[in-house]
Structures are given as structure tokens and as C-alpha cells.
């Protein structure tokens, strides 16, 4: 409990036990968080972004085809402006090429996106791969 007097607040000397309980629980939480982060400083080595694409589904849309995919970053560093290029090839010749840019793919995380094609990827060779990134 806090008392307001002469423009100042005065903390009571004899607080209710709930104040102590809340304080101790908070202390445990903060120490736990410090412990977690402290553990990270020791165990987590900085590795450059390691990006991989996994194609999920191909669906027909009004104007063509949508290929949905997830992009994974297994490293402990975040990649920014990640460009993903998708090539559709038929008989060794690229017939369609599209790309998409992810603002960020966070460390040890995934992001979802999709590429749109005019031609049906079914029966053709589809290659979707990360093409580059910058440091955030």
C-alpha cells in the first residue's frame, strides 16, 4: 500500500503478505529469465543464416497457380530481405521464373509465403530456392 502526502508517495513499512508474495514470484520470474538468457550467452553460437525451402501445396487460382511454401532458417542469426526464386522448367528450358522477397526470416524460425505461376507446375520441373539475403 502506498500513501500520497505532500506531493510524495510513501510506501508502507508493514505491507500485506500479498505484496511480498507477488514480489517473490516476480523475482523468481525475472531470475528465471536472466538464467535463460545467460544460458543462451554460453551455449548459443552465432552461425550465419542457413535457409531452406519446403514446398507445401500447389493450387489453382483465378489467374493461374499458387505454390505455397515454408522457408526455414535453422541458424542463430536472422536474415533480412530474403529473396526466394522459383523456376518452372520444361525439357531443360526455363519457361517461367518468379521471385518473392521476405522482409525477415528470424533465427531458428520459419516464414510462410507463396509464388504465383501462369503455367501448371504439374508435370514440369519446379525449383524454388533462396537466392540471397542481407543482415538485418
For residue 41, give the DSSP letter. Answer: H
Binders of another protein among residues 23 to 82 (CB under 8 A) are: 23-27, 29-30, 33-34, 36-38, 40-41, 44, 46, 78, 80
Looking at beta carbons only, is 13 or 60 nearer to another protein?
13
Q: Which of 126, 75, 133 is nearest to 102 (CA)?
A: 133
**Least distance to another protein, CB of residue 123, Å:** 32
Looking at beta carbons only, is 89 or 106 nearer to another protein?
106
Binding segment for another protein (CB under 8 A), chosen from 16-24, 60-68, 82-90, 93-101, is 16-24
Q: Which of 104, 30, 95 is nearest to 65 (CA)?
A: 95
Q: How does DSSP assign 51-107, residue by residue?
A: EEEEEEEEEE-SSSEEEEEEEEE-SSS-EEEEEEEEEEEETTEEEEEEEEEEEEE-T
Query: Applying CB under 8 A, does 13 fall inside the site for another protein?
Result: yes
92, 132 in Cβ contact below 8 A?
no
Q: Which residues bind another protein (CB under 8 A)?
A: 1-11, 13, 15-16, 18-20, 22-27, 29-30, 33-34, 36-38, 40-41, 44, 46, 78, 80, 103-104, 106-112, 136
Amino acid at each position: 500500500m502506498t500513501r500520497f502526502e505532500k506531493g510524495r508517495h510513501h510506501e508502507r513499512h508493514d505491507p500485506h503478505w500479498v505484496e511480498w508474495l507477488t514480489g517473490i514470484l516476480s523475482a523468481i520470474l525475472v531470475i528465471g529469465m536472466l538464467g535463460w538468457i545467460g544460458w543462451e550467452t554460453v551455449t548459443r553460437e552465432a552461425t550465419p543464416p542457413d535457409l531452406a525451402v519446403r514446398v507445401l501445396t500447389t493450387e489453382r487460382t483465378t489467374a493461374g497457380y499458387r505454390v505455397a511454401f515454408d522457408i526455414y532458417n535453422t541458424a542463430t542469426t536472422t536474415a533480412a530481405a530474403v529473396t526466394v526464386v522459383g523456376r518452372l522448367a520444361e525439357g531443360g528450358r526455363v519457361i517461367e521464373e518468379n521471385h518473392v522477397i521476405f522482409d525477415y526470416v528470424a533465427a531458428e524460425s520459419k516464414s510462410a509465403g507463396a509464388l504465383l505461376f501462369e503455367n501448371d507446375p504439374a508435370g514440369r520441373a519446379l525449383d524454388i530456392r533462396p537466392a540471397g539475403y542481407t543482415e538485418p
